[in-house]
Amino acid sequence: RAVKFAARLQFAIEPKTFDAMIRNRQELAKAAPPRLAEEVIRLSQGGAGAESFRLLYELGVLQHIAPSVSAALARANEKATAAAGAAGLFWRHLEAIDRWPNGPLDLSRAVALSAVYGPVYRAALEENAQMAARDPGVLFFNAIRPAISERLLSRREADRMKLIYVA
């Protein structure tokens, strides 16, 4: 909640609270995966999604609520690819959702999740160019399968995301 309010209201998180959040971030592993998945949606559609995810990434919390996204962003930062850094596609997509004229809630869950999980699919595309050309749908599901297996993403949501990515 501190991340949500700090991002939405442009508040700084008090240093002791910030340190406590870092110290206790592993406690998120005790939360039910569907609950974490719902928080990902709420943050991405909360009107300050880009800043919320910047804070989650900075705190090291993203690796606990969306591990495949966190890992893809870390790899992108190492490679300095288009998905990396503040100017990367991940951040630009979340910023675009925040600026959506009718508000972020006007967008479907699939659109919001496609922005969040975009780095995972882009990393798979870069690493598997042959499969991407042959069957991008299979590549998409191979890339996103860990999130489905960990119940952080439903198969139904993944099917809708696939329609966005592989159309």
Task: Give the tens place of pLDDT for each residue, 104-155.
Answer: 788 888 999 999 998 888 888 888 888 888 999 999 999 999 999 988 899 9
80 pLDDT band, cuts 50/70/90, is: low
pLDDT at 83 over 70: no
Question: Following CA atoms 71, 6, 151, 109 in sequence, which dihedral angle do they give, to the nearest 10 degrees?
Answer: -100
103 against 121, higher pLDDT: 121
pTM of the model: 0.83
pLDDT at 1 over 90: no
pLDDT at 86: 44
pLDDT at 75 over 50: yes
CB 154 within 8 A of CB 121: no
Which string of b and e fits 76-114 if b means at least 16 CB within 10 Å? beeeebebbeeebbbbbbbeebbeeeeebeebebbbbbb
